[in-house]
Amino acid sequence: MAKVNPGRLILAAILAIFVYGMIAAMLGTIMPSWKLLPEQNGNIALAQAIGLVIASLSAGPIIDNKGKKVALVTGLGLISIALFALAMVSGYDLYMGFMLLLGLGGGIIVTAGNALVADINEEKRSSTLNLLNLFFGLGGLVTPFVAGNLLNNDAQRLCYAGGALAAVTFLVHVTTTMPPPSGERGFKLSEAGALISSPTLWLLSLFLFLYVAAEVGVWNWFVTYLITTGISETEAKNILSFGFAFGLLLGRVVVSRILHLIAPVTVTLISAVLMAITTYMMLQSSSPTVAWIAVFCGGLAMAPVFPTTLGMTGDAFPKATATAMGIVITCGWLGLVVSSRIIGAIGGTDPKQLGSALMVLPIASVLMVLVNLVLRPMLSKAKA
């Protein structure tokens, strides 16, 4: 068997997470060009979320038993196909079908990519996950920036460019040697009962459920919301790119250092409090400058939550780690399923109702604070 090259492994992980960041911002970036009703856009976002749920639910046990390379190559292949197809088709039903496929690919690589990163430095898992996930923020920054400033808001060209990048990343993963699954850490059916019956696992899952409802709500809907307030499409995409995505990127650089000093559960509590404040402020102004400041602060607040929650999951469940992460991530995508339906239903046929619909985001953030307070003693007990 070929020797594993740590540098090549890190490159593969970075590219996978970058691609996921790119597709996380894709729907919100191309949605305005489809000229569909909020309810239809909500159904398309729901289709993507269902794909994410199916993929992440099934990916964990496969990764634990078959290894991460199989999952990453499969996920990247599906993403490439979906993006090239979205560039060539038109129509509500076809958009929905290929966003479902994009969700399937994304759900696989986010589970496998984070599991791969978690193994690079197990002693500092939360810090490492935050540092590597800054490339998620970079991918999210690139998509709306390129669309608005280099491609003249051409959704077709953006999908072709994204598909090409995903295809290159696919080839990198095909040619990269990755560690085989460990017998000690692989998922065993005999351990399923203890894993599934753990209150800690389900509270971590609920925490991520609420977080994803808030974060992906910004990715998918904020550009469209800003357009309804009178801001131009290009300017709205720049606010998402240089505001929200840059805030996520910068926040993860900073938090990777802070996590050496402050417990991950405390970091996520502070983040949840700040999220409640900033997501509410995002919806209070039609001024581009104020919107940029609010969404940038929102990105900073959200930055640690996803990777740090996965780090806490890995620390709490050292065996069957990928399966535990898969369950937590799956519940996160269920948050997107629920929020997409709620936002789409409230928005209905009137885009001007999006502001009211997006109040889902600060409400979810307040609930995160409550869940974190219940979770804290359980994580301390698990660590002990």
CA distance 310 to 306: 6
- Mean pLDDT, rounded, for 282-311: 90
Gyration radius from the chain CA atoms = 19
Q: What is the average pLDDT value for the chain, to the nearest integer?
A: 85
Q: Domains of the chain by range and CATH?
A: 6-178+192-383 (1.20.1250.20)
| Tens digit of each residue's pLDDT (9 = 90 or more) over 319-341 | 767 678 778 888 888 888 888 88
For residue 70, is pLDDT > 90?
no
Find the helix packing angle between 321-347 and 189-196, rounded to 10°.
50
For residue 19, is pLDDT > 80?
yes
Q: Say which residue the tokens 């290009």 belong to.
A: 234
Instruction: Report residue 11 as tokens.
Output: 């490159």
For residue 153, is pLDDT > 50?
yes
For residue 4, is pLDDT > 90?
no
Where is pLDDT greater, at 324 or 22? Answer: 22
For residue 186, is pLDDT > 50?
no
Where is pLDDT greater, at 52 or 56? Answer: 52
- Of 82-91, 124-133, 146-155, 212-221, the poorest mean pLDDT is in 124-133
| Tens digit of each residue's pLDDT (9 = 90 or more) over 99-151 | 999 999 998 888 787 777 666 665 666 666 667 777 888 888 899 999 989 99
Instruction: Report residue 215 as tokens.
Output: 């974060």
CB 223 within 8 A of CB 237: yes
Reported as a pLDDT band with limits 50, 70 and 90, residue 187 is very low
The DSSP code sequence of 243-273 is IIIHHHHHHHHHHHHHTTTS-HHHHHHHHHH
For residue 182, is pLDDT > 70?
no
**Rounded (5°) CA angle 378-366-49:** 85
H or E, element range at 241? none
CA distance 359 to 220: 14
> What percent of the chain is predicted at pLDDT more than 70?
89
pLDDT at residue number 384:
56
Closest CA to 338 of 53, 32, 35, 24: 53
Instruction: Report residue 55 as tokens.
Output: 């993929």
- Of 264-268, 269-273, 334-338, the poorest mean pLDDT is in 334-338
Reported as a pLDDT band with limits 50, 70 and 90, residue 56 is confident
For residue 88, is pLDDT > 70?
yes
Q: Say which residue the tokens 């307040």 belong to.
A: 366
Find the helix packing angle between 264-282 and 360-383, rounded to 10°.
180
For residue 355, is pLDDT > 90?
no
Reported as a pLDDT band with limits 50, 70 and 90, residue 38 is confident
pLDDT at residue number 77:
96
pLDDT at residue number 185:
44
For residue 183, is pLDDT > 60?
no
CA distance 169 to 192: 33
Reported as a pLDDT band with limits 50, 70 and 90, residue 2 is low
pLDDT at residue number 322:
67
Contacts of 77 (CB under 8 A, 6+ apart): 105, 170
The DSSP code sequence of 99-163 is HHHHHHHHHHHHHHHHHHHHTT-GGGHHHHHHHHTHHHHHHHHHHHHIIIIISTT-HHHHHHHHH
For residue 189, is pLDDT > 90?
no
CA distance 188 to 222: 42
